A = this chain, B = another copy of it.
Amino acid sequence: MSNLLPVLDVSSSATAVAEPCCTPLTRAPLAVEDAERAAGMFKALGDPVRLRLFSNVASADGGETCVCDIQDVGVSQPTVSHHLKKLREAGLLESERRGTWVYYRVAPGVLAVMAALLTPDA
């Protein structure tokens, strides 16, 4: 239940190599293990409510936002929390408590990784 989705070398924030993290889907058949990880990320975005929550965070000024500012997505507040947890577990979001409120931001590198995976051939 821990250490889900290392998201390939997104963890290489230290070495900071500019090399593309992962082979595009279109380049070669995805290995079983890579498919497992990548599918986890896509799955996390595969729910309309979750996708809107993610978009709300991703488009927030300053790169982060309070839960209280994005929870108007048509479901109950516990459900919002549940979805945010899923996004966190998938490695797409990070959260931090500051005083009364909890702030969410997009995990660094995640967008680039997913975009790279979907890079068309041409």
Contacts and interface: CB of A to CB of B under 8 A. Distances in A.
Interface in A11-34: 25-30, 32
B36 A54 contact: no
A118 B120 contact: no
Nearest to A52: B35
Interface residues of A, number: 37
A46 interface: yes
Copies of the protein in its oligomer: 2
B55 A48 contact: no
A82 B118 CA distance: 23
A112 interface: yes
Q: Which of A48, A54, A74 has the largest number of chain B CB atoms within 10 A?
A: A48
A10 B115 CA distance: 18
A59 B120 CA distance: 10
A56 interface: yes
